[in-house]
């Protein structure tokens, strides 16, 4: 099976846009999807968000990319086919798929709804599925997914602005819950106002937190405060302002995608404060030990969230009217969008209008 071409290895024809090498440039790509099995849901994809992880992967910044690669793990669409064991969905349902499409389903992590920490977790793209074939993501017209990895998309939530929650939303929601960062009135700093950061800001406000954005981009200040609801904004290149914030924050969520200094962030925390790093730069960050030890501070990480928590997050966001701020693009603009994302030039998530622009 592994020797067959992407176009012939499975019975169902599929079409997407793929990168052929680490230039990361995407172009049209014919491939195939497996037949819908007993546990599977076939989904016609309507929208797919563009996460910075897509960019890291396309450019092989993490060193494990394989090509051709169809990225995309913020997928929303409509159910078109169901396996005989699938009862939680019906044809025509609005559904979502995030960063993973498989796991062992029997380890301690899977049994605790933490499939995201299962040693056999299968990424939605650039991974090997249980049947030995490659996974291809959501920059494509349809996908076949095991029902365990499909979530119900709230009726009240728009498809385009809701799609980014499938990765960005759960990635910031899960650590806030796990690390106990939801106590109303506490002070949360968010580093990097991009896809993850702006959703963290909205979710933080919904939990009743005081939220300060820490950003390199002074031009994001007005909308961060006036439109997104931030309580304060610190430009990271302004040492005086940063210094004035030292010792004021209970929690920090760091979403920066590149190597950067943790020293000022640890200084912004109060004693007992928590710094949760979510960004995935290609090189290690330096961890200053003195502020950590002297202030009993905690540095932690977190990887997306389990399927149950992804559903909980979507329902929470629907209840609080939270969606992403998106720039919707047709697929033929995807390479321009990726270039702009690399420069942090997006307000605040690109979403591909797959259903209306993906045709051969």
Contact 242, 255 (CB under 8 A): no
| Closer CB to ligand NAP, 164 or 273, in the complex | 164
124 scored as a contact of Zn ion (CB under 5 A): no
What whole-number distance in Å separates Cα of residue 54 and Cα of residue 60? Answer: 10
Instruction: Confirm or reject binding of residue 42 to ligand NAP (CB under 6 A).
Output: no
Residues 6 or more apart in contact with residue 88 via CB below 8 angstroms: 147, 152
Closest CA to 278 of 257, 308, 249, 247: 257
The length of the chain in residues reads: 360
Residues between 4 and 33 with contacts to ligand NAP, criterion CB under 6 A: none
Binders of ligand NAP among residues 283 to 322 (CB under 6 A) are 302-304
By CB under 6 A, the residues from 102 to 161 that bind ligand NAP are: none
Query: Which option in ligand NAP, Zn ion, none does residue 210 bind, with CB closer than 5 to 8 A by kind?
Result: none
Q: Does 230 bind ligand NAP (CB under 6 A)?
A: no
Taking the complex as a whole, the smallest distance from the CB of residue 354 to Zn ion amounts, in Å, to: 16
Residue number, 151 or 167, with CB nearest to ligand NAP: 167
Q: Are 38 and 8 in contact (CB under 8 A)?
A: no
Dig out the tokens for 49 from the structure. Answer: 């968000």
Q: Binding of ligand NAP at residue 194 (CB under 6 A)?
A: yes
169 binds ligand NAP (CB under 6 A): no
Which tokens hold the place of 184? 């109303």
Question: In the complex with Zn ion, which residue's Cβ is closer, 117 or 179?
Answer: 117
- The least distance separating Zn ion from the CB of residue 268, rounded to whole angstroms, comes to 26
Min CB(2)–ligand NAP separation in Å: 28
CB of 107 to Zn ion, least distance (A): 3
Among 75, 118, 167, 176, binds ligand NAP (CB under 6 A): 167
Q: Are 280 and 254 in contact (CB under 8 A)?
A: no
Residue 118 interacts with, from Zn ion, ligand NAP, none (CB under 5-8 Å by kind): Zn ion
Q: Of 95, 77, 207, 103, whose CA–CA distance to 151 is shortest? A: 95
Expressed in angstroms, the distance from the first to the final Cα of the chain is 26
Structure-block tokens of residue 210: 């005081």
Closest by CA to 29, choosing from 68, 55, 74, is: 68
Give yes or no for residue 103 binding Zn ion (CB under 5 A): yes
User: Would you call 105 helix, strand, or coil by DSSP?
Assistant: coil
Binders in 35-94 for Zn ion, by CB under 5 A: 51, 53
**In this complex, which beta carbon is closest to Zn ion, that of residue 167 or of residue 351?**
167
CB 115 within 8 A of CB 100: yes
- What Cα–Cα distance (Å) separates residue 201 from each residue in 58, 142, 167? 27, 32, 15
Residues found near ligand NAP in the complex (CB under 6 A): 51-53, 56, 167, 171, 192-197, 215-217, 220, 255-258, 260, 278-280, 302-304, 341, 344
């Amino acid at each position: 099976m592994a020797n067959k071409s992407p176009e012939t290895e499975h019975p169902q024809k599929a079409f997407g846009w793929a990168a052929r090498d680490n230039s990361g440039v995407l172009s049209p790509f014919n491939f195939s999807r497996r037949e819908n099995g007993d546990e599977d849901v076939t989904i016609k994809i309507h929208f797919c968000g563009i996460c910075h992880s897509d960019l890291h992967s396309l450019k092989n910044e993490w060193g494990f990319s394989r090509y051709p690669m169809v990225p995309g793990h913020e997928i929303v669409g409509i159910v078109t086919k169901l396996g005989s064991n699938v009862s939680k969905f019906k044809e025509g349902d609005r559904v979502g798929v995030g960063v993973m499409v498989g796991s062992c389903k029997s380890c301690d992590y899977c049994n605790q709804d933490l499939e995201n920490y299962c040693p056999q977790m299968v990424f939605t793209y650039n991974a090997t599925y249980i049947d030995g074939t490659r996974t291809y993501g959501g920059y494509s017209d349809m996908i076949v997914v095991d029902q365990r990895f499909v979530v119900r998309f709230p009726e009240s939530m728009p498809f385009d602005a809701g799609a980014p929650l499938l990765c960005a939303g759960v990635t910031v929601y899960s650590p806030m819950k796990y690390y106990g960062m939801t106590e109303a009135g506490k002070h949360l700093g968010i580093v990097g106002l991009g896809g993850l950061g702006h959703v963290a800001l909205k979710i933080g406000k919904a939990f009743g937190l005081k939220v300060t954005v820490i950003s390199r981009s002074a031009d994001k200040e007005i909308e961060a405060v006036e439109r997104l609801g931030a309580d304060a904004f610190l430009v990271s290149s302004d040492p005086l302002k940063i210094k004035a914030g030292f010792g004021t924050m209970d929690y920090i969520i760091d979403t920066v995608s590149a190597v950067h200094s943790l020293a000022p962030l640890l200084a912004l925390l109060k004693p007992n404060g928590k710094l949760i790093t979510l960004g995935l730069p290609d090189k290690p960050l330096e961890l200053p030990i003195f502020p950590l030890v002297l202030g009993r501070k905690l540095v932690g990480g977190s990887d997306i969230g389990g399927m149950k928590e992804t559903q909980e997050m979507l329902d929470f966001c629907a209840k609080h009217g939270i969606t992403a701020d998106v720039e919707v693009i047709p697929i033929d603009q995807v390479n321009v969008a990726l270039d702009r994302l690399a420069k942090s030039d997006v307000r605040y998530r690109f979403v591909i209008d797959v259903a209306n622009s993906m045709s051969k």
